[in-house]
Chain A
Amino acid sequence: MKTWLRTRDKNTLSLFLLALVIFIIMGILSPRQFLGVTNLQGMCVQFPEYGIMAIGMMICMMAGGIDLSLVGIANLAGILATVCMTSISGTAGIAAGLITALATGLVCGMINSFFIGILKIPPMLVTLCGLQLYTGIGLAITKGPALTGLPAEISLITSGTIAGIPIVLIIFIAAAAVMSYVLNQTVYGQELCFYGCNDKASRYSGINNLKVIFKTYMLSGLLGSICGIIMISHYNSAKSDYGNTYTLLTLLIAVLGGTSPDGGKGKVSGVVMAILVLQIVSSSFNILRVNSYIKTFVWGMILIIVMVAGYLIRRRKETA
């Protein structure tokens, strides 16, 4: 048991403890509301939306980059899927919509990686422009208002359950498991870490950096488009500016989860823990009826405090 604890990541462990502490405090403060099935199920339905996005943000940060365009990709994918589903009726329409959404994510990721890998424009700038561009395309398609008229089956993704477990939660767990496998067990995962640590060294050791960039941003685009599908299911409509606070939130989650902004380090388990902490905090605030703007305030504070604490711990280690 002790050795198992020692081999775990310290950051992940402390996040887990933090989540546990808040959970227990809230459980004591308002047991009936907080521990009720509605709240727990509500929590599980809320976080997959930005949680999957945060995993996409994490892999881009592991590559030493960043993906600020995720929200734009998600909305564009959602809009295109809605257009498909409303124009083709029946199951064929739903299938076509889902495929269109995923393809949109891949194409947007490819556009990002073209600018990053081949034109060598810094990722932050590319994805910033990407956000504007994808949101703009979405706005041009919808002409402003939300697109409605989705088939009823789509809302099942967020409202349906299998054996009491919400379907979105299953999607999230599957995405997290697959990404964890990809990062830990595949050659690409290792190459990504090498590239993120030192892109020159990785090139000299025979890694095709361009391929790594393309894979990373396309994967992140794909994750973004999965969020897009969940979002249209959640809102039962598609619009170009849904979830515009998610950019900050996903960045916050990735950093909180121990992803190094300089690249090379990141863990799916850390990110999952960070998501749990934020979701528990956010649900507690809702139950305690705290002003929702305080949530933004507290999220920013958590980000700064975690970064400062990380620095202090690092300094202590260096002097010791």
Chain B
Amino acid sequence: MKQKVLKTATRNEAIVTYIILALCVLIGLKNSAFLDVSTGISLARAMLVTLIFALCEMVTIISGGIDVSFPAVASLALYATSTLAVALDINNVFLLFLAAGAIGLICGIINGLLIVKCKIPPLIATLGMSSVLNGGTLAFIGTRELSSLPSGMNELSRAFLFTYVNEQGISYSMTIFILVPIILCILVFFILRYTVLGRGIYAVGGDENAARIAGFNVSRIKYCVYGFSGLFAGIGGLIYVILMRQANPQVLMGDEMMVIAAVVIGGTKITGGYGTVIGTVLGVGLIALVENNLIMLGVPSHFQTFMVGLIIVLGTSITALREKYGSKAVRRQKKS
């Protein structure tokens, strides 16, 4: 019993939670405005799209691969659908989501094809795709930022779950889109834990050959993983457009580093085979907290990139060190 408690208290997720709590206390002590419902709401808003991307990335990394093309996929999906919506004045948002999802899915399947059929290492395949998609979007669709979106999209950006008004009378509203990552979290959790496909993803990430011998269809699992990643990259991209009320084909580029870092801080093994939804949520939360609230600690804005980098380095080192010494401890136990 005691061992079990100790084990839970020193798990990677727990360590990230301690770091988050410590940061919150630190920021709260320095600036009492932090400890307010409004911070939670703006933090949730900042995390929203990143969380969708991070969940896709986590599934890809668990399967032993990596996807650095999702910002390009999302940019293509968001810009193509927004351009179309503006040109034809489409107000049916459902249709737009369908289109964005389809574009994403196709890109994801192409990634899968390159990785499964042509046996190109995932990093290089998705890097190449990223270059092709982003270059293609900018060269063939356009580079101009679209800010006057159809009214159907604008209306949806004002759909709120609840509104909180603070003492100064400034209202903070929780957008309805927060439901998307929440549902996605639950979905991914159930798929990874309770379905054959989910167990297959872990198996492929742990040891591809062993998974094949055990009877998993490795190719199909990989197609599913990259297809899923593309699908939700597209949907996440469109959500970003609706929340920001403007479509910019370049704004998401470069996000991949941060998302991968968030996933790894959350305890997902970069070599595959291990990772949890809760860990990823915490990892994204930590990075969002650092990115958005360091300014409250009085850290000048030009120090932020450095601070975020430092926290990522520390987070990944802790994960790696735990793994190194954890496995040694297990071996020692087995010996005795």
Q: Which residue numbers of A lie inside 8 Å of B, CB to CB?
A: 66, 115, 119-122, 124-126, 128-129, 131-137, 139-140, 142-144, 240, 244, 248, 251-252, 255, 261-262, 291, 293-301, 303-304, 307-308, 311-312
- The secondary-structure label for the interface of chain B is helix
Q: Is the CB of A293 within 8 A of B135?
A: yes
- Interface mask (B110-124 → A, CB under 8 Å = 1, otherwise 0): 000010001111011
Q: Is the CB of A119 within 8 A of B306?
A: no
Q: Given that A119-B321, A122-B271, A307-B120 are contacting pairs, would A133 and B306 also be in contact in the complex, using a CB cutoff of 8 Å?
A: yes
Q: Which of B139, B303, B305 meets A297, CB within 8 Å?
A: B139
**For the complex, what is the distance from the CA of A311 to the CA of B317, rounded to whole Å?**
36
Interface residue ranges of B103-140 to A (CB < 8 Å): 114, 118-121, 123-125, 127-136, 138-139
Residues of B within 8 A of A129 (CB): 261, 309, 312-313, 316
Residues of B within 8 A of A294 (CB): 135, 139
Q: Which of B114, B264, B304, B324 meets A304, CB within 8 Å?
A: B114
Further pairs besides A129-B312, A291-B139: 11, Cβ < 8 Å: A124-B66, A132-B309, A140-B305, A140-B306, A248-B131, A252-B127, A296-B134, A300-B132, A304-B114, A304-B132, A307-B114
**For the complex, what is the distance from the CA of A304 to the CA of B272, rounded to whole Å?**
24
B325 to chain A, nearest CB (A): 11
- Max count, chain B CB within 10 A of own CB: residue among A129, A303, A307: A129
Q: Which of A131, A251, A311 meets B119, CB within 8 Å?
A: A311
Residues of B within 8 A of A244 (CB): 254
**For the complex, what is the distance from the CA of A252 to the CA of B135, rounded to whole Å?**
15
B318 to chain A, nearest CB (A): 10
Q: Is the CB of A300 within 8 A of B317?
A: no
**For the complex, what is the distance from the CA of A252 to the CA of B118, rounded to whole Å?**
17
Interface size class of B (residues with CB under 8 A): 35 or more
Q: Given that A136-B306, A295-B135 are contacting pairs, would A300 and B270 also be in contact in the complex, using a CB cutoff of 8 Å?
A: no
- Interface mask (B4-19 → A, CB under 8 Å = 1, otherwise 0): 0000000000000000
- The secondary-structure label for the interface of chain A is helix
A262 to chain B, nearest CB (A): 7
- Max count, chain A CB within 10 A of own CB: residue among B120, B128, B143, B303: B128
Q: Is the CB of A251 within 8 A of B124?
A: yes
Q: Given that A119-B321, A132-B257, A304-B128 are contacting pairs, would A124 and B123 also be in contact in the complex, using a CB cutoff of 8 Å?
A: yes
Q: Is the CB of B123 within 8 A of A261?
A: yes
B58 to chain A, nearest CB (A): 14
Q: Given that A119-B320, A125-B316, A294-B139 are contacting pairs, would A137 and B306 also be in contact in the complex, using a CB cutoff of 8 Å?
A: yes
**For the complex, what is the distance from the CA of A304 to the CA of B139, rounded to whole Å?**
19
Q: Which of A128, A140, A297 meets B260, CB within 8 Å?
A: A128
Q: Is the CB of A261 within 8 A of B121?
A: yes
Q: Which of A143, A261, A293, A295 meets B124, CB within 8 Å?
A: A261
Residues of B within 8 A of A137 (CB): 306
Q: Is the CB of B305 within 8 A of A128?
A: no
- Max count, chain A CB within 10 A of own CB: residue among B143, B254, B307, B316: B316
Interface residue ranges of B63-103 to A (CB < 8 Å): 66
Q: Is the CB of B132 within 8 A of A301?
A: yes
- Max count, chain B CB within 10 A of own CB: residue among A132, A134, A140, A262: A132
Which single residue of chain B is at the shortest CB-CB distance from A260? B121
Q: Which of B124, B132, B260 meets A255, CB within 8 Å?
A: B124
**For the complex, what is the distance from the CA of A124 to the CA of B66, rounded to whole Å?**
11
Residues of A within 8 A of B121 (CB): 261-262
Q: Is the CB of A136 within 8 A of B124?
A: no
A63 to chain B, nearest CB (A): 15
B104 to chain A, nearest CB (A): 18
Q: Is the CB of A297 within 8 A of B316?
A: no
Which single residue of chain B is at the shortest CB-CB distance from A68? B257
